[in-house]
Structure 1
């Protein structure tokens, strides 16, 4: 081979190698080969990282349910719990701490799904599998459990249309969407718009910072000022916390009667507002199956086994992530007894305080 041909061959090889490396760097397949080589028996340490403490569900349901299920599956296993309190940088530090502690697996509900990707990569490089919980974090995630989030938005949109009936075009609908940093918020919005677009007149839309009630209150006040208190016929609120803030603004702004307001998470205050008639609906998401799936995945992955999931999802960075997706339920005054009470989320006595006793009797919750 002459010198020119050798140079061409070497150049071609370099280009081929560069293409291969570039391909490896994009949207990699979920791969559990590392964990397969690390079979482990005996007790495990599972890191549990939840995103915030403003939404009641995380401390009241997710944390105790996940912990209980891990202990049921592995009595000697240890759960190390931290809450990021809506602070992206703090959660990154918490992942670093879990790596330093050499936990066997991490269950992660990300504050910011994109910003946490580098931390997930660090965990993967330390051979610690990460289960994305409720929100699909970016990076080399090993498993994912959540609800069908577009379906959540559709359920909310359908409920709002039902509540509006033939008044759907009589005024404006205000949309209070979730926090942009949460990938679920975009899916809720997409699902809701797939139902509402063309059937209602959307007067104002807001992406509410960190899902906070006071930020939803500010947005709703702005909408009332802009649209007029008599022109708002419905409010799409992506969750119950924001619904509470919106309803406070509607009342203080003199909107009477209150328009139908949606929600999500079946928070106790939300359920009580539904009974009282100030909030139209919420989305009940049975937390136990979601928590169970996360616990089972974390233990399997911590032992070096592949999670037993038939479904897969893709994130912007990783394809083929084993996933469990749970179907949400529309919660209204008519099915509180058959859902949140029957499933043990709340007792009737927790819901039916003195303030709500008459509403509970009317709904048949105290019989």
Structure 2
């Protein structure tokens, strides 16, 4: 009897110990959706590879990442955040106070949550969190997805345990650091669908090409205006799926060849990619990675004077997309380029083949393998 009681108590103790070894991970990024997609891709992969994992997303108070993270069942916590500008602004002084507040919020949260890892793909909201994690000796993983290293990642990189990168060229920016080139992680909730089914999903005809227009996670007013100003000409020769951005819906006259959405989620986005013959897009790396996965011919309009120009250049140099400069565009020129592109089947084929070769398909798997090595 005593042996039996001893055996049961040992089993109970082991169960308690096993529960106590929960792997807790903080994901951090936001403000815009640029840093969100690779984190979601890693979250999906880690769910499969790391048993008994609990994740919390640390983001901005008002950013769009909250709704998306909670849609994936990830608990969300907001902290104060500010931005370091490379030019003089009174807002810089106010933001320093916000960053200090965010730093102390991060200290208290890390102490209470006891994470095994802090994981970020950039964004200024993650900066005070990473600094706090380093002080408290929590391993830190930074993913560098863009061709140009942003200021937030530059501020966090000296404290990183592991850095993964999309491009080989990124390695030289992180001297004396553990840098692994993985490509850019891509979410698994995007599916390759049948084109006929996708065209029918939007109520379109198979006899006209489909143009997908996206302005990035928060939309692009300039691209929206181009569509509005060239609408009558465009619908003469194509059908349009338009992701305008939240709160940036444009109201055009009702037409059977035009479908507008503030944001395309999951299967809606998968249908849009499958239906489209050509995509108009900003040059955020998450969107470019999706275009590569679906091998979609694209015309890229990067945000001027930003890291997006570097991203676009990587694709242009490999003849994987056409790059247009926003400041040079007029509605007439825009329409002409789209019409010529849709009519040039050889060009579309070349872009499709080349963009499909831009990235490996197992970036999330490679990055997760590296993460598992550093989790304590």
Q: Do they superpose with TM above 0.5?
A: no
| Greater relative contact order (Cα < 8 A, sep 6+) | 1
TM-score norm. by structure 2 comes to 0.33
TM-score norm. by structure 1 comes to 0.34
